[in-house]
Structure 1
């Protein structure tokens, strides 16, 4: 029975605690995930209080926050009161599409005369077909149609205009005449312009409402943005990222007081803005060069930019006088900060540079800092006890430390309070002294370690000689290190969870071996501080002993021992390295190397037959063809799914036995100019993807196209749309 009532029923929201549980479940799913993101919970509670207990709001806002599990985004939502979120019902979406059809119009050069134009049109796109420009008669007819377009279109009501087609500049005169009355435009996009931009933009002199200007593509020997741009006082976004050539900026660029994003291809364009501090809404300044005794390029310009986010680069800091004027401590939304002194400066004032760096203290929310060319001898205090890492679920935290060319001793590490970096996931060291074990053990969350041009030894203290160390590092990269096999094996022994190892340009490495668990446990005790040349000499005497697990003598000077649990190995550019059948752990899954001869031998392929799924052969400039023995060895790799050939400049043909690899799923060939055909034996039916990139052989391309329909995906530069391909195998994932 339905009846009316005299008083309205007041609907109340859920109980706050019940609502919070529903909100939390909508974001995280389960309690474990919520605990993993405990840094977000306090902010999440404050956001939930603004939802007034509405279950629909809990699900709606919760799902949206789920896609951005980082503190900065949640803080931004809290500051806005959550007003940026809304949900459009399917019926409303359809209604919006219907309404937009009355306001949006696309005119192609071929249908200018025939298309119906409603008086309600507010958003116009014009597309010029290349073929319509090639024919003289057609071109003249279309030009007349564009001239008469102003009689059918109320240009004064347009809010957005987009011009497409690389030859739309051929109609610049009728377009210019057409757009003189377009005073209400908010959005302008010029795609692939082949004309002087000023010849189009001078027609927009009265666009006081313009919010967005994008020049997309086009090559110019010199592109000068006209001074008229500085009149677009309400411009929010200026996007010239896709333009190539030399740029010139308007003299009064700083008049764009509402500008938030100046998107450029070359960061140096940011340095050309004089008095950039007037652009108080600017959210990213990727390069600012300090100029001595020039107020328009002094550090106080940065101090006026309260909305900065993303990246900030400050260069030529040797010219700086008052660093505190940058007010970096107030810029809580910065992600990346670059502080750079010109290494070629004529004079250095170490004490002044230390003072400047000390006063460039950033906010603790900063994720990444680069200090380059600094002449001081000490780190700033804010990089010591005040340095800390906050958990961020979207980007795992990393620290990169690069020393100077002059040698440093281990006291360098005492300047950093590593005890504050317990959440650090990645550490990159370049030109650094040995890292003491007492400091490394403080980095309890460390999973990735990179060492470049540094001593790889980890130093114990006097009381640590009998202690066994195990760290949870899973990925280790060693570049350009003059380390012996003994030193490298000692380092590897500290990482029982190591899965990924990359070694490049380590010229003392002559071979590889595999260590047993007993030996690695023995080596995990740090060497004595009294280790001397007599011990080194004893190792040298043992060089003739066989490989294996029979003791420390197996670790000869050029032969590091790999841990058995290793899954991914990348080793290249080690000129003295000779790979042999016992160089690899039997469970290795991915191998990246430039030594084709060392891999394609029967004992090695038999050892890896059931485990190796990915094999990348790159940077080999010697091998021209695979021998019969190498082809037979390859066929032993029954588990191989992805073979990759990259930059093998002399290689003329692929292995003949690929069709016998029944696990094969993907084959990649890139930058191998002399490979002119596919294997005569073809491929197994299991192959799903054939990727050929930067091939100079038309015959190879023809053969790839011929396979279309028999292989699920064939990728080459002729099949892929622009921007749709990016060669991925160079990133080893190791």
Structure 2
């Protein structure tokens, strides 16, 4: 039975912290009706089946080979035992302890896959069913004093047959409804509302969902059925979904409300009715991703009918009755010329992995599909667009994103008078059509990542319907005959929402008089949530920088501010008082302020989650002056006594004079100052400090998980902001540092464990400190990276032999390192690394032969050697009895492969890339070394 919570239970397992710690790789695949090897591998990689089986196998091998993985196959229907055997054989590439978790409605599936453990969900108990209904149907999640309504509710719960999905949908539908609605549902015979696709009753689930669907308004029904265009388990972007609804006129707009506001209400209704679920929020607390339950998706397909089709295959024949089509792999299809009545042409897969499509398809679409309202040509590999695009007069949504070679748009695009959405994200367009201002109905113009765009066209100020303008480029290098849009054009665009990036390109022509035109340019944009201001060049007058940035003061509702390349001497008043003027800030980034001596007080911004300060040459302290804080911005006493209370990520990069982070509470008592220190950085999780040579302290952060410290003062310490009190225990997931001796000095005994350790510039004089560090954390360190170790000559005595639980070792860039030193005298660290699984050696000039000590690495599964001086591989190679993969890259001194490679039964894959002597020798069938490796299942020579 569907809706019992199989997927929900699997998600709880998948996301459990213990599971995350136990498995190196976790993969989730929604299988549904496609239990083919190729389809599953494609979903494991997130790529398209159009890549072909061989490429997909290679991608998956890279992900799981030798690694302990958890693979969840959700919603499996296929009972074919042979298909499962084929998949299982391939999955054996993973490390010991790997697991596959499968969910299905069919016991026969569990039998076909020869499951070791089977858990059968039988629905909720009566008591838990009522508790769930209470939470969904009643305010505050508690039953009211109206006993009559409670009795009706308990009868309703019985109709839901203890199925969680039914209870959630019905409870959310009845929430806030008059008692007559409750009585109506109780008396309804759900069996009369329909049956499943095969004509059999679905135990009340589908009829229950239909009951809730039938009580949606006609507009909401249209919005819901349109969701059938997305494949099952597809991650839907809320912004895209709302714009698609808008393009098809699914909305009832009245009372002077904007289309976007109505769309947002519709989305909230479907979410509250449980037709949409699994939402994800961005840094600003806005919903940006969602999914549909597979049963809800089945209902959407049913009510959408035969006019809607979502294709996930490149082989297809389309019915001319189809009106709405989504497709993953376009290929070269001739049937597009026959789809003259199509209204929607949509891509339904992540664009970054799609192969380029045949440009003839675009000509066919533009010439024949004249009734299109939605046209999605994202990641088509387009270099140009046909002029016939301008003939699609009904078009409302045009997506040209991720076409990296698209440099110019046809002027005919300005004929699309009904166009509402134009998305050019990450294209290479150099300029927008001169007549763009004629698109009076355009509401959303996406330009993020258009790094080649030199200027805006004249007349942008007349496009008052714009709600989204993600980037505004001010006058880059253009011909003298080209007229460009001016910053002042933004003044009339009062409805802008979301993100606005203002870029001053090279060749910016503003003089001092023109700069004054931008005064109060943005403070009427009440719906903007992020402002980015970026200078790519230094203007002739520093005063122009100052006037421009002062004039670009945003509205107080802004949540994100990023300013890069400001060269003015005077800091604008609004930047100097961010905490006073912008209490809602969630994200702040300041980069390249050459004349900034004092940072604005940021520590009392109670919503700030991300702070990046970089290339600020004159900043000495990051401080918080509580006396300057506005009482209006502090809701309680505890807010006053918190320093960066919500900060999650702090990055301090290239701050040559930075000495510390401190709070200014001089007028308060000593007890108050200590309380401030205790409550400082309570939620900080990621801290990156790089090239801050004068910095001597790092703030106490009890929740810290990721720390990257490079180029800091030798007296650098981890302590409280204003005191020397002992630190709480800390366990780091990831530590990156360039001076090992600092680790103990920074943390002392407060550091209880490290998962992954990266050391830059590891050298002999660090060995004593490294040995102490490795001994202290031998049980926790699973991964070790050594980068740029040009002064390192040997690993003997460095303490690496103490890392008995080490799984991954990577050594990069060392011209003097001899990995074999110590082999003769028994001092080699290799014999202690019994659990090492993966070894990656790159750019080691002295690596001519593999050390004898490597023979002790009996758990090694993956060996990668790149850009080394390796001349031969040893005949003792079969001693590596667990080896699955050997990868040799740019090893140009390697002349041949050893005879012993024939005797490695565990070896499943060999890759030889850019090794000039081996390429011909390993080529099938005539290469001299081919007989040695022909038994290896997968051999790749490049």
Q: Shorter-chain-normalised TM-score: which range? A: 0.5 to 0.7
Distance verdict in 2 for CA 1:67–1:22, change over 3 Å: farther
- The alpha carbon displacement at 1:375 in A equals 0.7
Aligned: 1:593 with 2:593: no
Q: What is residue 458 of structure 1 aligned with on the other side?
A: 660
Aligned: 1:251 with 2:434: yes
Decide which of 176, 182, 190 is 1:52's aligned counterpart: 176
Q: Is the 8 A contact 1:455 1:481 kept in 2?
A: yes
CA distance in 2, matches of 1:194, 1:59: 35
1:474-623 matches, cutoff 5 A? 476-483=687-694, 488=696, 491=697, 500-505=706-711, 525=724, 561-564=745-748, 565=751, 567=754, 569-572=757-760, 578-583=765-770, 584-585=772-773, 586-588=775-777, 589=781, 590-594=783-787, 595=789, 601-605=795-799, 608-610=802-804, 612-623=806-817
CA distance in 1, matches of 2:796, 2:688: 29
Q: What is residue 459 of structure 2 aligned with on the other side?
A: 275
Distance verdict in 2 for CA 1:206–1:456, change over 3 Å: closer
Distance verdict in 2 for CA 1:621–1:207, change over 3 Å: farther
Q: Is the 8 A contact 1:184 1:209 kept in 2?
A: yes
Deviation digits for residues 120-148 of structure 1 (CA, Å, limit 9, x no counterpart): 24468898979xxxxxxxxxxx9xxx6xx
Distance verdict in 2 for CA 1:456–1:417, change over 3 Å: closer
Deviation digits for residues 223-274 of structure 1 (CA, Å, limit 9, x no counterpart): 4321111112233444555766x64532212333325243565334273333
Distance verdict in 2 for CA 1:129–1:71, change over 3 Å: closer
CA distance in 1, matches of 2:303, 2:137: 37
Q: What is residue 92 of structure 1 aligned with on the other side?
A: 299
- The alpha carbon displacement at 1:204 in A equals 3.9
What SS does the aligned partner of 2:580 have?
Answer: coil
Distance verdict in 2 for CA 1:251–1:499, change over 3 Å: closer
Distance verdict in 2 for CA 1:215–1:418, change over 3 Å: closer
Stretches of structure 1 that go unaligned for 5 or more consecutive residues are 1-12, 24-47, 131-141, 392-396, 527-554, 719-734
Aligned: 1:419 with 2:604: yes
Decide which of 475, 492, 502 is 1:313's aligned counterpart: 502
CA RMSD across the alignment: 6.0
Distance verdict in 2 for CA 1:652–1:249, change over 3 Å: farther
Aligned: 1:681 with 2:882: no
TM-score (norm 1): 0.61
Distance verdict in 2 for CA 1:573–1:400, change over 3 Å: farther
Q: What is residue 543 of structure 2 aligned with on the other side?
A: 349
Stretches of structure 2 that go unaligned for 5 or more consecutive residues are 1-132, 144-171, 183-211, 213-268, 348-353, 627-641, 726-738, 915-942
Aligned: 1:226 with 2:406: no
CA distance in 1, matches of 2:279, 2:896: 41
Decide which of 11, 15, 18 is 2:138's aligned counterpart: 18
Q: What is residue 550 of structure 1 aligned with on the other side?
A: none
What SS does the aligned partner of 2:798 have?
Answer: helix
Deviation digits for residues 312-337 of structure 1 (CA, Å, limit 9, x no counterpart): 224368753233453345343433x2
Q: What is residue 434 of structure 1 aligned with on the other side?
A: 620
Decide which of 320, 323, 339 is 2:518's aligned counterpart: 323
What SS does the aligned partner of 2:828 have?
Answer: helix
TM-score (norm 2): 0.49
- The alpha carbon displacement at 1:563 in A equals 2.4
Aligned: 1:339 with 2:339: no
Deviation digits for residues 592-621 of structure 1 (CA, Å, limit 9, x no counterpart): 332387596344335742465554433435
Aligned: 1:197 with 2:317: no
CA distance in 1, matches of 2:908, 2:611: 38
Distance verdict in 2 for CA 1:373–1:179, change over 3 Å: closer
Q: What is residue 289 of structure 1 aligned with on the other side?
A: 474
Q: Is the 8 A contact 1:617 1:646 kept in 2?
A: yes
CA distance in 2, matches of 1:272, 1:192: 24
CA distance in 1, matches of 2:473, 2:535: 12
Deviation digits for residues 512-537 of structure 1 (CA, Å, limit 9, x no counterpart): 99x9x9xx8999649xxxxxxxxxxx
Q: What is residue 370 of structure 2 aligned with on the other side?
A: 183
Aligned: 1:67 with 2:67: no
Deviation digits for residues 386-407 of structure 1 (CA, Å, limit 9, x no counterpart): 255659xxxxx55434464458
Q: Is the 8 A contact 2:400 2:427 kept in 1?
A: yes
Q: What is residue 937 of structure 2 aligned with on the other side?
A: none
Deviation digits for residues 535-555 of structure 1 (CA, Å, limit 9, x no counterpart): xxxxxxxxxxxxxxxxxxxx9
Deviation digits for residues 470-516 of structure 1 (CA, Å, limit 9, x no counterpart): 76566543322334xxx64xx2596687665433356x86xx99x9x
What SS does the aligned partner of 2:280 have?
Answer: coil
1:140-159 matches, cutoff 5 A? 155-159=339-343
1:319-398 matches, cutoff 5 A? 319-328=514-523, 330-335=525-530, 337-341=531-535, 343-349=537-543, 353=546, 356-357=549-550, 360-381=553-574, 383-384=576-577, 385-386=579-580, 390=584, 397-398=586-587
Aligned residue pairs total 592
What SS does the aligned partner of 1:228 have?
Answer: helix
Distance verdict in 2 for CA 1:501–1:359, change over 3 Å: closer
Distance verdict in 2 for CA 1:362–1:635, change over 3 Å: farther
Q: Is the 8 A contact 1:425 1:446 kept in 2?
A: yes
Decide which of 475, 478, 493 is 1:304's aligned counterpart: 493
CA distance in 2, matches of 1:601, 1:423: 44
Distance verdict in 2 for CA 1:321–1:49, change over 3 Å: farther
Aligned: 1:209 with 2:403: no
